[in-house]
Amino acid sequence: MYQAETGYPLEPAEKHKWYDFSGFTTRVEERMPSLDKSLDRYFDRYMDSIVQEWELITEPDLISMEGRLKRIAEELGRLEKGHAGLIERAIALDASLKEMGR
């Protein structure tokens, strides 16, 4: 904090006030142009177009894809079990055919 002098030396001491200038720098920084603020405004304004043009993935898309991946992984597990069962059946049928051919 800095003591602000009024320029009137005859004022009573209790009229001198202490001013806090910490808020002043914040207000100045908010009003000063900067690259970060320009980029923020640009992205805020054009984010939907950027996502579409660059084919970026959004969080809802990612959640949907994760669900699909989980279902596909479960289906692959079932198919692999079915494949193993089909191979066993094919081996059994092949053995049966060989016995019939004797």
- The predicted-structure confidence for 40-89, as pLDDT tens digits, reads as follows 889 999 999 998 999 899 999 999 999 999 999 999 999 999 999 999 99
Judged against a pLDDT cut of 70, whether residue 25 lies above it is answered with: no
The CA R_g of the chain, rounded to the nearest whole Å, is 38
Model confidence pTM above 0.85: no
**Residue 80 is part of which domain span?**
2-100
Phi-psi region of 55 (alpha: psi -120 to 50; beta: other; left: phi over 0): left
C-alpha separations of 17 from 1, 8, 14, 32, 59 in Å: 10, 13, 8, 28, 53
- Residue 55 CB neighbour total at 10 angstroms: 6
Total tally of structural domains belonging to the chain = 1
Question: Three-state DSSP class for 92?
Answer: helix
